[in-house]
Amino acid sequence: MILFKTVRPLQNKLEKLRSNKQKIGFVPTMGALHAGHVSLVTEAKKHCDMVVCSIFVNPTQFNDEKDFEKYPVTIENDIFLLETNKTGILFLPSVNEIYPEGTEQLQHFELGYLENIFEGKYRPGHFQGVCNVVHRLLNIINPDILFLGRKDYQQYLVVKKMLQDFHPSTGIMAVDTAREANGLAMSSRNMRLSEDARIKATAIYQSLQYIKQHIAEGDIEWLKEKAKEKIWQGGFDKIDYVEICDAETLLPVSTIKTGKKIIVLAAAFIEDVRLIDNILL
């Protein structure tokens, strides 16, 4: 694996690869890597000749400064994990490298209603920060395909829209959520949970499974309330949302229609750590 910390040497390397007709896949991360990130790299290797992974804790997508300060940093382990899984290139830039003109005057992206629902509602400015950093990374790397995890489903849809507007030649692939044996969605934030909370946190996945198992027989609003009950009973401190939506638009549905892709999403806090999860029906 080759490690780059600055833009120009990385671009020189990528230009040589392109001149040899090599297909480039890109996996952007914020570090604190786990098996879910490895699954993105593995999928990218199936479709591309060279996989570039970036590690950059992006300050502009945190609406809560304390959340930014608490974000786990495990760079030595991250490098070992990427090397072990034969990642081709690691890009490890500084804030100045990504935001040479600072983080005050950021580009504004027109994201429509997607910016203001669910994650956008509870984390104001989050998706503008996501789009700014992904846009800048794509300008640097110019990959053929971008690989994102399905766990952050709304983020996937937001970035997909941004690609259509600014990077139409870059493809995008969503990779299925990696889970612990008990069903808990793998997340860097899980590192902040106690062992007891990691066990209790499975309630969020179990609540989504309950909806999946009863979707054909229950009223939508009733199902959402039953799911929330399960999350509360699991030991969560706060629920931001449990919603049943059209998977294409992320708009809530009131009835289930044959042929429509449905996604169930939830966000809740346990031990002051905010977890999100979703499942496609």
Residues labelled catalytic: 37
The rounded Cα 248 to chain-centroid distance in angstroms is 17
The rounded Cα 189 to chain-centroid distance in angstroms is 12
CB under 8 Å to 234, separation ≥6 — which residues? Answer: 200, 201, 202, 203, 204, 206, 207, 270
Q: Considering only the C-alpha atoms of the chain, give the largest distance between any 2 of them, rounded to a whole number of Å.
A: 58
Q: What angle do CA 102, 106, 107 make, to 5 degrees?
A: 140
Continuous segment of H or E residues that includes residue 151: none
Distance CA 263, CA 260 (A): 10
Please spell the DSSP secondary structure of 192-239, one letter per residue: GS-HHHHHHTHHHHHHHHHHHHHTTTS-HHHHHHHHHHHHHHHT-SEE
Continuous segment of H or E residues that includes residue 127: helix 126-141
Spatial CA neighbour of 127 closest among 95, 157, 149: 157
Distance CA 35, CA 32 (A): 10
Instruction: Identify whether the C-beta of residue 264 lies closer than 8 Å to the C-beta of residue 153.
Output: no
Phi and psi dihedrals of 159, rounded to 5? -65, -35
The rounded Cα 34 to chain-centroid distance in angstroms is 13
